[in-house]
Amino acid sequence: MSEIRYMQGDATQPVGDGEKIIVHICNDIGRWGKGFVLALSARWPQPEKQFRDWYASGENFALGNAQLVAVEPQLWVANVIGQHKITNGKDGLPPVRYEAIQEGLRQVAAFAAAHNATVHMPRIGCGLAGGTWDKIAPLLQQELMTKGIGVTVYDFK
């Protein structure tokens, strides 16, 4: 089994040949406007527009679901709903929902396998969602890498 590839760079400009999917985490209340989504919106209008339309429709808009949005030939953005609300709950727990991220990654894996695509991302779930990489990285291994899907994680300079 291969390892996660880590590199310095911008996850909105994935490197390599072939089909690529940029994965990021969204919240379950339809908000878009802080964190990595700002970089996505600066490059392409489609992920935000389709996320907002998805939220407004209510169709399958729930924790654990993923929406794949074509932004360029051979490039998609996966809007994965893996965050409950946007602030810590009354119980002090952060918004991240690891089980939802895992389910969303399963959906991304199916799409990636069907398109022979690699997956690219920042350290998902570890920014505004409040998650930790030691809990996210094993999910990438389990849901993507064991299925032969290459994963590159970008640390922005």
* Tens of pLDDT, residues 9-37: 999 999 999 999 999 999 999 999 999 99
In this prediction, residue 1 carries a pLDDT of 54
Residue 25 main-chain phi, psi, to 5 deg: -105, 135
| Amino acid, single-letter form, for residue 156 | F
Provide the edge-to-edge strand list for the sheet that holds 20-27. 5-8, 151-155, 118-121, 20-27, 75-83, 66-72
In order of 31, 83, 129, the CA distances from 89 in angstroms are: 16, 12, 12
Class of the 5-155 domain?
A: alpha beta
* pTM greater than 0.95 (yes/no): yes
Q: How far apart are CA 33 and CA 4, in angstroms?
A: 28
